[in-house]
């Protein structure tokens, strides 16, 4: 069976970005995220895949275990909305701390997207990416995905950078709820 997916950045897109989140107790979902993810998955049957650069690991600021604890808390918080993220992919590398040639996963590269495509048999032509940074939008373009930039997190700063570079997302949304509404409208043609 071929699936469609919504690829999601994590920090600043689905949860508040407090910078290299290592304390799972500080995880807080952004407004509207739980309800919107539930609608995308339970009504429209999108796979929900987080793809996140976590360079804090390479920098020695957080551990892989802490990243995974944060991911687990996100799914625990989403349970109250009757939804779960299908998979969390993250890149622990940073070119200042790792061999750049070894890393094909760090956005805007599409290694994490390709891994998800292979694992879940995803049709990228029917899939989307929501993120708050220019690397999210560039990763979407590199993978042939429709891209939605949310103005939460680093969204406003990223929009300026993208505009200066003449790289525009498919859609700009004020928040996650509006991003999900755009996907549903685009997907259903309504």
Segment 60-101, tens digit of pLDDT? 999 999 999 999 999 999 999 999 999 999 999 877 776 666
SS3 state at 36: helix
In this prediction, residue 190 carries a pLDDT of 81
Q: For residue range 125-178, list pLDDT tens digits in order.
A: 999 999 999 999 999 999 999 999 999 999 889 999 999 999 899 999 999 999
| Predicted local confidence at residue 99, as pLDDT | 66
> Would you kindly state where each structural domain of the chain is located, as residue ranges?
5-188
What does the alpha-carbon distance between residue 112 and residue 177 come to, in Å, rounded to a whole number?
24
So what's the pLDDT on residue 108?
A: 95
pLDDT at position 102: 62
Strands of the sheet containing 47-53, edge to edge, are 87-91, 47-53, 5-8, 128-131, 146-150, 171-173
How many CB atoms lie under 10 A from the CB of residue 76? 12
Asked if residues 128 and 141 have their Cβ atoms less than 8 Å apart, the reply is no
Residue 101 confidence (pLDDT): 62
CATH of domain 5-188: 3.40.50.1000
Helix (H, G, I), strand (E, B) or coil at 100: helix
Please, are residues 48 and 37 in contact by the beta-carbon 8 Å criterion?
Answer: yes
User: What torsion do the CA atoms of 58, 63, 64, 70 make, to the nearest 10 degrees?
Assistant: -120
Give residue 10's pLDDT. 98
Give the pLDDT score at 39: 98
pLDDT (tens digit per residue) in 31-52: 999 999 999 999 999 999 999 9
Examine the residue annotation and report whether 11 is marked as an active-site residue of this protein.
yes
Residue 103: the pLDDT is 77
């Amino acid at each position: 069976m071929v699936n469609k997916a919504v690829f999601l950045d994590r920090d600043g897109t689905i949860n508040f970005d407090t910078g290299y989140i290592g304390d799972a107790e500080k995880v807080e979902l952004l407004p509207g995220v739980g309800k919107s993810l539930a609608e995308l998955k339970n009504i429209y049957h999108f796979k929900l895949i987080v793809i996140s650069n976590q360079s804090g690991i390479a920098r020695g600021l957080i551990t892989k275990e802490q990243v995974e604890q944060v991911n687990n808390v996100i799914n625990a918080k989403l349970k109250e909305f009757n939804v779960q993220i299908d998979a969390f992919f993250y890149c622990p590398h940073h070119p200042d701390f790792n061999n750049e040639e070894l890393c094909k996963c760090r956005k805007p590269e599409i290694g994490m997207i390709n891994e998800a495509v292979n694992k879940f048999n995803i049709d990228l032509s029917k899939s989307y990416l929501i993120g708050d940074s220019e690397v999210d939008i560039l990763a979407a373009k590199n993978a042939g995905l429709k891209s939605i930039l949310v103005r939460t997190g680093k969204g406003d700063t990223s929009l300026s950078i993208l505009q200066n570079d003449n790289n525009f997302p498919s859609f700009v949304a004020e928040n996650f709820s509006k991003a999900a509404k755009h996907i549903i409208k685009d997907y259903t043609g309504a």
